Amino acid sequence: MDPDRRKFLSASVSTAATAAFARALNAEAAPAQPSSKSAHEPLDVTIVVNGRERRMALDPRTTLLDALREHLGLTGTKKGCDHGQCGACTVLAQGQRILSCLTLAASVQNRDVTTIEGLIGASGALHPMQQAFIDHDAFQCGYCTPGQIMSAIACVHEGHAGSDGEIREYMSGNLCRCGAYPNIVAAVNDAKTAMASPG
């Protein structure tokens, strides 16, 4: 930042609130991020997917969903509406559930992303939530299921699976056109107990 600009900015600070922001102006927030000089230059993007560092050269327009499916071959995460309305593309980023269709791959640089493929443990055992979906017949066609399961795991971790009503409210971002909702609620209820028990 050039000195004139610095002076100008600090001179314009008028309130305590903006003073706090001014202090943050020069704070280096994070390591370097990908950037492209032009729209036609590929971005060098690294994402830690299911514990494995994956480096890709991507068009800036590539969503996390398309990076997973088309570039890494991880087709477990589904493309439903592609507009953030159905939840089929739900994955975990830094442990939090997000919609991969509305996330640019470049904006999750160096982040930990977990997909349905990353749930199976080293022993090959299913995650308790996956097992509960099978036990409770919580799907018919199965297309929404990976998103439902990722969302359900986050729902339990967030502490939002306290009652049937709370599960329904906090799972409302995942649509199921087959209408398996009652069995999905039963599966989440069941898995939350299994997830709480050690081992």
Partner 1 sequence: MRPFSFESVTTANDAIAAGASGDGGMEFLAGGTTLIDLMKLDVMRPTRVVDINALARTELGRIDVQRQGLRLGALVRMAEAAEHADINTVYPAVAQSLRLAASQQIRNMASLAGNVLQRTRCPYFRDVSYEQCNKREPGSGCAALDGINRSHAVLGTSDQCIASYPGDFAQALIALGAIVDIAGPRGMRDIPFAALHRKPGDAPDIETTLQSGEMITAFFIPAALWTRRSVFLKIRDRESYEFALASAVVALDLEEDKVRDVRIALGGVATIPWRATAAEAVLKGKVLSARSKRAAADAAFADAHAHEHNAFKIELGKRTLIRALDQAAAMEI
Q: Which residues bind partner 1 (CB under 8 A)?
A: 1, 8-9, 11-15, 17-18, 20-41, 43, 59-61, 63, 82-84, 87, 90, 96-99, 101-104, 106-107, 109, 151, 154-155, 158, 160, 168-170, 172-174
Closest contact distance (angstroms) between CB of 146 and partner 1 is 13
Task: Please identify, using beta-carbon distances, which residue of 26 and 123 lies nearer to partner 1.
Answer: 26
Please state the three-class secondary structure of 163-187 as a single string. Answer: CHHHHHHHCCCCCCCCCCHHHHHHH
How far apart are alpha carbons 100 and 72 in whole angstroms?
Answer: 14
Give Cα 93 distance to the centre of its chain.
4
Nearest to 32 by CA among 109, 105, 131: 109
Which tokens hold the place of 24? 């943050």
User: In angstroms, what is the C-alpha Rg of the chain?
Assistant: 21
Task: Please identify, using beta-carbon distances, which residue of 34 and 135 lies nearer to partner 1.
Answer: 34
Closest contact distance (angstroms) between CB of 171 and partner 1 is 8
Closest contact distance (angstroms) between CB of 191 and partner 1 is 17
Task: Please identify, using beta-carbon distances, which residue of 14 and 123 lies nearer to partner 1.
Answer: 14
CB atoms within 10 A of CB 108: 22
Closest contact distance (angstroms) between CB of 43 and partner 1 is 6
Closest contact distance (angstroms) between CB of 1 and partner 1 is 5
Residue type, 56: M
Task: Please identify, using beta-carbon distances, which residue of 103 and 183 lies nearer to partner 1.
Answer: 103
Task: Please identify, using beta-carbon distances, which residue of 107 and 137 lies nearer to partner 1.
Answer: 107
Closest contact distance (angstroms) between CB of 47 and partner 1 is 14
How far apart are alpha carbons 195 and 199 in whole angstroms?
Answer: 9
Task: Please identify, using beta-carbon distances, which residue of 24 and 122 lies nearer to partner 1.
Answer: 24
User: What residues pair up with 38 in beta bridges, in sequence order?
Assistant: none
How far apart are alpha carbons 38 and 43 in whole angstroms?
Answer: 10
